[in-house]
Amino acid sequence: MDFKKIIEEKKNEILLNLQKIIQIPSVLDENDATADAPFGRHVRECLDFMLSLAKQDGFEVVQDGGYAGHLSYGNENGKLIGILCHLDVVPVGDGWLYPPFSATITKDNKLYGRGSTDDKGPTMAAYYALKIIKDLGLKLKNNIRIIFGCDEETGWRGISHYLQHFPHPDLGFVPDADFPLIYGEKGRMSFDLGLNEWDDDDLVVSIMGGERYNVVLEDATALIKKDLEKEFIKYAKDNKLEYHYQKINDLYELKLKGVAAHAMEPNKGVNAGTHMCNFLKDYSNNKLIHFVSQYFHLDYYLKNLGLDYNDYEMGPITCNLGIVNIVKDNSRVTLDLRYPTRYDRDKFLKVLDEKTKENKIVINHSTNKNPHYVSPEDDLVKKLYQVYLKHTSDFEHKPFTIGGGTYASTLPKAVAFGMKMPYEEELAHQRNEYLNLDTFFKAILIYIDAIIELGELDA
Query: Is 242 known to be catalytic?
Result: no
**Amino acid 295: pLDDT:** 98
Please say if 211 is a catalytic residue.
no
Q: Which residues of 429-452 are buried (b: 16+ CB within 10 A; e: fewer)?
A: bbbebbbbbebbbbbbbbbbbbbb
Can you give the pLDDT at residue 405?
82
Set 119, 152, 153, 336: catalytic member: 152
Q: What is the pTM of this model?
A: 0.79
Q: Do the beta carbons of residue 385 and residue 446 sit within 8 Å? A: no
The phi and psi torsions of 222 (rounded to 5 degrees) equal -125, 145
Exactly one of 88, 151, 153, 219 is catalytic; name it. 88
The model's pLDDT over 78-134, given as tens digits with 9 standing for 90+, comes to 999 999 999 999 999 899 999 999 999 999 999 999 999 999 999 999 999 999 999
164: CB partners within 8 A, 6+ apart: none
Task: Report the percent of the chain where pLDDT is more than 70.
Answer: 100
Burial class (CB in 10 A: 0-12, 13-18, 19+), 10: middle
Domains, the chain, in order of start with CATH, read 3-186+372-455 (3.40.630.10), 188-369 (3.30.70.360)
pLDDT tens digits for 7-52?
999 999 999 999 999 999 999 999 999 999 999 999 999 999 999 9
Mean pLDDT of 402-421: 94
pLDDT of residue 403: 85
214 versus 18: the higher-pLDDT residue is 18
- Which amino acid is present at 64? D
3-state DSSP call for residue 380? Answer: helix
**Closest CA relative to residue 317, chosen from 297, 335, 294:** 335
